Amino acid sequence: MKIKKNIATSENGFIFNPATGDSFSANHLASAILLSMKNGEEADHIKQNILEKYDVSRDQLERDWEDWLLQLKEANLLEV
């Protein structure tokens, strides 16, 4: 799953899709994940970083990750 190349993100978590004009606000973790995805990091690598940094089980993370991808898809931010 890749984030569309032209998606603009800012440090404070503002996301702008220039193709649709949609904008979103993301919290600190979401914008960090988004930035990693934009930089081409693999999903496994991003998840590993989260597991190391946060107190979360792998099962919980996997469930949240699926939900995250769904939200990105709904927001039209993923490459088709």
Partner 1 sequence: MIIGITGLNASDNPGPGVAVIRCLREAFDNDLTIIGLSYESLEPGIYMQGIVDKTYQIPYPTAGTSALTERLEYIHEIEKLDMIIPNFDSELYNFIKIAPWLKSIGIKTFLPTHGQLASRDKINLAEFGKKYGFMVPPDKLINNIKDLQKAGEELGYPLVVKGKYYEAYVNYTPDLAQKSFHQLSAKWGLPVIAQQFIKGTEINIAGLADGKGNAISVIPMRKLYITDKGKAWAGVTIEDNELIELAQTFAAATKWSGGFELEIMRDADGDLYIMEINPRFPAWIYLSAGAGQNQPAALVKMAMGEEMGPFTEYTVGKMFIRYSWDHLVDIADFQQFSAFGELKLNNPN
The residues of the shown chain that bind partner 1, judged by CB under 8 A, are 6, 8, 16, 18-21
* Least spacing, CB of residue 20 vs partner 1, in Å: 6
* Least spacing, CB of residue 23 vs partner 1, in Å: 8
Beta strands in the chain (DSSP E): 8-9, 14-16, 23-25
Question: How many Å apart are CA 66 and CA 61, to the nearest integer?
Answer: 9
Which is nearer to partner 1, 16 or 65 (by Cβ)? Answer: 16
Residues 6+ apart with CB under 8 A from 27: 13
| Enclosing H/E stretch for 72 | helix 58-74
Which is nearer to partner 1, 48 or 76 (by Cβ)? Answer: 76
* Least spacing, CB of residue 15 vs partner 1, in Å: 12
Which is nearer to partner 1, 21 or 40 (by Cβ)? Answer: 21
